[in-house]
Structure 1
Amino acid sequence: MFAIGLRLAAMAMLSTMFMLAKLAGEAGVALPELMFWRQAMSLPLIAGALLATGRIRLLRTNRMASHAKRATTGTVGLCCNLGAATLLPLPVATTLGFTTPLFAVLIAALVLREMVGKWRWTAVVLGFVGVLVIARPSDAPVPAMGLAAGLGAGVIVAIVSFQIRDLARTEAPIACVFWFAFYGSLFTAILLPFYAQPHGLREWLLLAAIGLSGALAQFLITAALRFGQVATVVVMDYSALIWSTLYGWIIWDHLPAVSMWMGAPIIVVAGLIITSREHFLSRRISPTSALDEAATEEAQPVKIPAGT
């Protein structure tokens, strides 16, 4: 229950970050600048917390190249996530982010050549039907760039999940978070001379709040995975849809279109099928029988750590 509570709080913080990013975008803050401050402001928070608790040694690594590679992919994903948040209504952007498990199954099957059974293939087809319902409504067309950004975020986060799984074999979770922010700040700083501009107090407060909420979300996601199983806590990610809908209603006086109410449950159900199936297989397949099981039904499932 503690892990579930942490994950729910993480989704609240993540939804808040995207809401603030949308407000900042409307105030004229360019996307590259949003990305830079989202990363840069989390660095002193992480380093300060580790210094205060005497755990700065957790940042030591012998895999700096792997962190840089993960940060390169993750920065593209952050661009897609923030781009979707600024271009689309928040509930739509959030729902498109739920396609990550669908793309993770596709990557596992087509790239990693893992065996994928009928349950997960059915969930993938069902999930993309939900995307089509949202993308082709009769009453409110979804902007093509926003749709591309939302689906791009799903693809990139799925790829990042596999990179994190590899890094997690040797690296502390907080080290993955810190070096992602470090390299992400360096990458986006290159664009600042072309996009940075003077801001008023409101814009700087928004940027500071984006960095703080994003860092808190990452801390809470990491803590939730420490105290609970992935398959248990990841289901709580769908609570983000509640927050995004609430923010859209209170701040922008916007409620989702009928197509959104129809498509979102389909995508959520598809994600739940994948999560429950992977949880079932992870309990069913023992180390001694994994190869035999893979030959007859499905291989051991991919663990997908959630997060941005």
Structure 2
Amino acid sequence: MDSSPAAISAAPNPTLGIGLKCLSVLVFVAMQTSIKIGGQGIPAGEIVFFRSFFALLPVFIYLAWLGQVRTALRTDDLGGHFIRGAVGVSSMGLGFFALTRLPYPEWISISYATPLLTVVFAALFLGEVVRAYRWTAVVVGLVGVLVVLAPNLSLLSAEDALAPAGDEQAVGALASMASAVFAAFAMIQVRRLVRKENTATIVVFFSLTCSAIALLTVWNWVLPTPWQAFWLVMAGLFGGVGQLLLTACYRYADTSTIAPFEYTSLLLAIAIGAILFNEAIYVTTLIGGAIVVGAGIFIIWRERRLGIERAKARRVSTPNG
């Protein structure tokens, strides 16, 4: 999932921003649930195509309403969009593969590794300064991810090698972690793109690139049943609407205000997993998820504090201040 700030600013309204963020979380959970319902037995590349192609419908309707379709299709960095799309489609493919094989709460807990890994990659590839507090939070958060992963990794032992269901779940857990790594790389590329490209352009080219790349897997596609096709199309529509809501929420409130509400998706995942899919809730998932959420919230809080300190420093150092 993308989280770049909107290019168009608006009057601050934290309540509206938080409301839009929570609504986007609800819609993205609906998207993931649709994939979990309709994606069983469907190759990951095919799911990516449905998710990306049908997401374009609500996005283009919204841009047409704003009169920004031509603007959204104008870019000075086609190569950068392709790289972002290629990395993003890898993340989506691995993530959807894992989603159809893992309990929903477990999958979403592992996906929370993305913002933690983004901090690491930002330091390595963008030269961002990361101090001891954030490094500590990242390490603690990744330990939480390992707590969630541990039961699945134990399934890869020789004793369980002949258990197909357990082995498939273990592979799903590894795919989910790999998806988080690719998603973090994608966020680094988004940070590069937002320096010169507007948000609408990034959103549109991402969906176009993912759709085109996913088509390359057509030789491996499976004809979905009408029921599966319905849910996969809905996943795409939910994805497009969720992206628009996510983009809109950043117009009204700071990232540090909005970001913690992302973690409400874990509560929804636990409820949906238990009610719709009859999935057991593992103690390791709850403990590991809590550790990851705590680390993520600490990083967000730390970013807010540093932002306030930087703002004070700028005011103090103003020549005429």
Q: What TM-score bracket applies, with the shorter chain setting the length?
A: 0.7 to 0.9
Aligned partner letter, 2:52: Q
Matched, 1:44 2:57: yes
Q: Which residue of 1 aligns with 2:293?
A: 268
CA contact (8 A) 1:74 1:160 kept: yes
Q: Give, in whole Å, the separation in 2 of the partners of 1:173 and 1:232.
A: 20
Would you say how many aligned residue pairs link Structure 1 and Structure 2?
289
Instruction: Report Cα offsets for 1:11-70 as digits up to 9, x if no partner.
Output: 1111111111111222x3221110111111122332233223322133122222211111
- Residues 1:68 and 1:92: Cα distance change in structure 2 (over 3 Å): same
Q: Give, in whole Å, the separation in 2 of the partners of 1:38 and 1:150.
A: 17
Q: Which residue of 1 aligns with 2:8?
A: none
Matched, 1:182 2:208: yes
Aligned partner letter, 1:227: Y
Q: Which residue of 2 aligns with 1:246?
A: 271
Q: Which residue of 1 aligns with 2:180?
A: 154
Q: Which residue of 2 aligns with 1:166?
A: 192
Q: Residue 239 of structure 2 is aligned with which of 198, 214, 220?
A: 214
Q: Which residue of 1 aligns with 2:220?
A: 195
Aligned partner letter, 2:192: D
Q: Give, in whole Å, the separation in 1 of the partners of 2:210 and 2:144.
A: 32
- DSSP 3-state at the match of 1:241: helix
User: Greater shift after overlay, 102-111 or 214-223?
Assistant: 102-111
Instruction: Report Cα offsets for 1:218-260 as digits up to 9, x if no partner.
Output: 1111011121111111111101111111110111112311111
CA contact (8 A) 1:19 1:85 kept: no
Q: Give, in whole Å, the separation in 2 of the partners of 1:111 and 1:49.
A: 34
Aligned partner letter, 1:212: L
Equivalent positions of 1:135-150 (< 5 A) are: 135-137=149-151, 143-150=169-176
Instruction: Report Cα offsets for 1:84-106 as digits up to 9, x if no partner.
Output: 21121110110111111221222
TM-score by length of 2: 0.84
Q: Give, in whole Å, the separation in 1 of the partners of 2:285 and 2:307.
A: 33
- Residues 1:190 and 1:115: Cα distance change in structure 2 (over 3 Å): same
Matched, 1:204 2:229: yes
User: Greater shift after overlay, 227-236 or 158-167?
Assistant: 158-167
Q: Give, in whole Å, the separation in 2 of the partners of 1:53 and 1:184.
A: 24
Aligned partner letter, 1:106: V
- Residues 1:54 and 1:239: Cα distance change in structure 2 (over 3 Å): same
Q: CA deviation at 1:148?
A: 1.7
Matched, 1:78 2:92: yes
CA contact (8 A) 1:21 1:210 kept: yes
User: Greater shift after overlay, 70-79 or 113-122?
Assistant: 113-122
Aligned partner letter, 1:223: A
Q: Which residue of 1 aligns with 2:307?
A: 282
CA contact (8 A) 1:130 1:264 kept: yes
TM-score by length of 1: 0.87
Q: CA RMSD in A?
A: 2.3
Aligned partner letter, 2:67: G
- DSSP 3-state at the match of 1:170: coil
CA contact (8 A) 2:35 2:100 kept: yes
CA contact (8 A) 1:231 1:279 kept: yes
Q: Give, in whole Å, the separation in 2 of the partners of 1:157 and 1:226.
A: 23
- Residues 1:115 and 1:198: Cα distance change in structure 2 (over 3 Å): closer
Q: Give, in whole Å, the separation in 2 of the partners of 1:53 and 1:124.
A: 40
Q: CA deviation at 1:134?
A: 1.6
Q: CA deviation at 1:287?
A: 9.4
CA contact (8 A) 1:91 1:244 kept: yes
Equivalent positions of 1:219-238 (< 5 A) are: 219-238=244-263
Q: Which residue of 2 aligns with 1:31?
A: 44
Q: Give, in whole Å, the separation in 1 of the partners of 2:211 and 2:288.
A: 35
Q: Residue 65 of structure 1 is aligned with which of 72, 79, 84?
A: 79
Q: Give, in whole Å, the separation in 1 of the partners of 2:229 and 2:123.
A: 44
Q: Residue 14 of structure 1 is aligned with which of 7, 16, 28?
A: 28
Q: Give, in whole Å, the separation in 2 of the partners of 1:161 and 1:36.
A: 20
CA contact (8 A) 1:3 1:228 kept: yes
Q: Which residue of 1 aligns with 2:6?
A: none
- DSSP 3-state at the match of 1:226: coil
CA contact (8 A) 2:147 2:284 kept: yes
Q: Give, in whole Å, the separation in 1 of the partners of 2:209 and 2:279.
A: 36
Aligned partner letter, 1:207: L
Q: CA deviation at 1:3?
A: 0.6
- Percentage identity across paired residues of the two chains: 29
Q: CA deviation at 1:109?
A: 3.0
Q: CA deviation at 1:199?
A: 2.9
Q: Which residue of 1 aligns with 2:148?
A: 134
